[in-house]
Amino acid sequence: MISIIQVDRQFKSLKKEILAAVENVIDSGQYILGVEGKQFEKEVCQYLNIAHAINVGNGTDALVLALRALDVGVGDEVMTTPFTFFATAEAISRVGATPVFVDIDPKTYNIDPTLIEDKVTARTKAIIPVHLFGQACEMDKIKQVATKHHLYIIEDACQAFGVELNGEKVGTIGDIGCYSFFPTKNLSSIGDGGLIVTKDEKIANRVKKLRHHGSEKKYYHDEIGYNSRLDEIHAAILRICLTKIDEWNGLRVEKAKKYSVVEHFNGFSIPTSKGSKTHGYHLYCIEHPKRNEVIHYMESKGIGSGIYYPLPLHLQKVYQKLGYQVGDLPIAEEKAKRLLALPMHPYLTIAEQEAVIEILRAYQ
């Protein structure tokens, strides 16, 4: 069986270094908000070329804390894509705001910037573009609308660590960037983890307070916050993985190039990309009109695949109360029926990838 994702290969390749780092943390006696976390924040700032980075518990919390830091809450609307992992919209709902879903671009699968302005109301506070599958959103156009209507931009860069747009790392282009270090993400740990980045010192300080029970000074609390921090063990592991991320993302891009032959096979289309480094291929999703049949066929040949995502968020049961109908966001709805993800990870072997390609070539 060739599986879609195999993170253990990444971690096994670094097992010796990781074990040494974990031992170090054990010996240090400091397990939360210690040296490793601070060093990781410093190193990640250098890597992303941004002033402030704050570790948090996971990517979902990063989004929640970002919204809270901008005082987005009850009565506010936040625009985002219906074609993303649920956590993006969940974060908006968790702070009491209302998600407003904007349809996607049929080629990039990212929020369609030309549709945003029509949905701006007096209540709109922010936009959360998601760099889906690792591909950078059209930030220039999104920024134009945001500036015109005084909206914040929170980038959901959970699937796109290290991806660049015009020389800037995604996540550092808007007001706040959010990342996840869930094991399957491009940069990940052996557990949960997340990060917030910002140029703005005031926002950074607010996030630091919020992640630690609304407290700046120990046992003195200014507001209701969260317990959301990155453990020292994960920070130590992430420091090691950070030195590998460019190599790993490069390997993903190489594999994406090799997969592009699939475009010539009957009925298939492949993802588009605007050039070097703008796509990190967190997932390599192709389209086929008979997607479900293709998946069964691949399964019968021992090839894993995945559906990202089977039901757009505006049609989820939990959001029935928002009143969206089938057909309201047609591109997202169509893509939910057509997309399937092929095996993609830095240590997918050439032989494995060739097997996947040959099996797709043979599909009629």
Ligand X SMILES: *Cc1c(COP(=O)(O)O)cnc(C)c1O
The residues assigned a catalytic role are 185
Which 8-state DSSP code applies to residue 32? B
Token pair listed for 206: 């607010």
Q: Which is nearer to ligand X, 170 or 331 (CB)?
A: 170
Q: Rounded to a whole number, what is the largest CA-CA distance in the chain? A: 67
Q: What region does 275 belong to: left with phi over 0, alpha with psi -120 to 50, or beta?
A: left
| Per-position DSSP letters for 113-163, written without gaps between them | GGGTGGG--TTEEEEE-B-GGGBPP-HHHHHHHHHHTT-EEEEE-TT-TT-
Token pair listed for 289: 């009109």
Q: Which is nearer to ligand X, 48 or 87 (CB)?
A: 87
Cα 153–Cα 48–Cα 93 angle in degrees, nearest 5 = 30
Shortest spacing between CB 361 and ligand X, in angstroms = 30
Residue of this chain nearest to ligand X (CB atom):
59
Under a CB-based contact definition with an 8 Å cutoff, are residues 31 and 233 in contact? Answer: yes
Q: Which is nearer to ligand X, 83 or 152 (CB)?
A: 83
* Alpha-carbon separation of residue 73 from 57, 67, 126, 171, 195 (angstroms): 21, 8, 11, 22, 21
Binding site for ligand X (CB under 6 A): 58-60, 84-85, 87-88, 130, 156, 158-159, 180, 182, 192, 194
Exposed/middle/buried for residue 1 (C-beta within 10 Å: 0-12, 13-18, 19+): exposed
Which 8-state DSSP code applies to residue 199? S
Within a 10 A sphere around the Cβ of 270, how many other Cβ atoms? 18
Exposed/middle/buried for residue 223 (C-beta within 10 Å: 0-12, 13-18, 19+): exposed
Which 8-state DSSP code applies to residue 343? P
Residue position matching structure tokens 């049929």: 106
The rounded distance, in Å, linking the Cα atoms of 358 and 364 is: 12
- Residue 67: in which H helix or E strand, if any? helix 59-69
Q: Which is nearer to ligand X, 85 or 248 (CB)?
A: 85
Q: Which is nearer to ligand X, 174 or 194 (CB)?
A: 194
Q: Which is nearer to ligand X, 120 or 154 (CB)?
A: 154
Compute the radius of gyration of the chain from its Cα atoms: 20
Shortest spacing between CB 80 and ligand X, in angstroms = 10
Under a CB-based contact definition with an 8 Å cutoff, are residues 134 and 186 in contact? Answer: yes
